[in-house]
Amino acid sequence: MKRIESFNVDHTKLEPGFYVSRIDGDITTYDMRAIKPNTTPLLTNSEMHSFEHMFTTIIRNGSMSEKIIYFGPMGCQTGFYLCVRNSDNVQTVAEVEKTLNDILEHNGEMFGNSEIECGNYRSLDINNAKKVAKNYLNVFNGLNVYEK
């Protein structure tokens, strides 16, 4: 069986950061690595889920809304994938930073926080979304700090 590309990356050398993971035609996949692989603490399900709801909603309503293909957590609990069509790296970086700040500044309810809107709405917590946003913003800005 053909080995998938992500298994060819030496995860012992990956650091938290924002990387172009792969380019498939007009789609760029970004690796939003929040935590160094195979270290602790890993992102909890509630942290990943809560951040996913907030980040996805905000970025899909931003200036790049028509370009966003997918945003979701990595199964290894160390970050997220962002897939963008016709990506301009400068625009994408700016939009990701804006989205992280928008999460931190959000004073309303968690997006999609109901039984009708989500298959596991009880695991959502706005404070977890903000915690992940704050920690990743530190990584994104080169501070490489993860607060428990």
DSSP 38-60: T-SSPPPHHHHHHHHHHHHHHHT
11-140 CATH choice from 3.30.70.1070, 3.30.1360.80, 2.60.40.420, 3.40.190.10: 3.30.1360.80
Mind listing the pLDDT tens digit for each residue in 50-59? 999 999 999 9
Residue spans of the domains in the chain: they are: 11-140
User: What is the per-residue pLDDT for 6?
Assistant: 81
Helices 126-140, 89-105: crossing angle, 10 deg rounding: 140
Mind listing the pLDDT tens digit for each residue in 15-48? 999 999 999 999 999 999 999 999 999 999 999 9
Position with higher pLDDT, 87 vs 111: 111
Mean pLDDT of all residues belonging to the chain: 93
pTM above 0.85, yes or no: yes
